[in-house]
């Protein structure tokens, strides 16, 4: 993790954002105290959880715990 002062970040923001794009984390400090941590954005190709389909109906005789575990595995 790279640590920079606020002034340094403000003056060279695009360079630090390039570092973040390449996967590095940048911590910004002001007066010696951390004020921000800039991390690479997570994967955005997955739909938000509220848009994902709900749990499928379970056939009689199937354990609920097993169905939940299978659903979790299939959504990864």
The domain spans of the chain are 2-38
In the prediction, which pLDDT does 55 show?
A: 65
CATH number of the domain at 2-38, please?
3.40.1620
What is d(CA 44, CA 48) in angstroms, rounded to the nearest whole number? 9
Confidence class of residue 62 from pLDDT cuts 50, 70 and 90?
Answer: low
In the prediction, which pLDDT does 37 show?
A: 96
Considering only residues 57 and 4, tell me which one the structure prediction assigns the higher pLDDT: 4
- pTM for the complete prediction? 0.54
Q: What is the pLDDT of residues 10-61, one digit of tens each?
A: 999 999 999 999 989 999 999 999 999 999 987 656 667 777 777 666 666 6
Hey, what are 26's tokens? 């940048």
Question: Could you tell me if 29 and 3 are in contact, meaning their C-beta atoms sit under 8 angstroms apart?
Answer: yes
């Amino acid at each position: 993790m790279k640590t920079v002062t606020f002034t340094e970040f403000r003056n060279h923001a695009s360079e630090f954002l390039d570092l973040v794009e390449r996967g590095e984390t940048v911590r910004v400090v002001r007066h010696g105290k951390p004020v921000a941590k800039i991390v690479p954005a997570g994967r955005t190709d997955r739909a938000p959880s509220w848009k994902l389909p709900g749990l499928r109906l379970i056939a009689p005789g199937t354990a609920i715990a097993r169905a939940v575990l299978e659903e979790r595995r299939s959504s990864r």
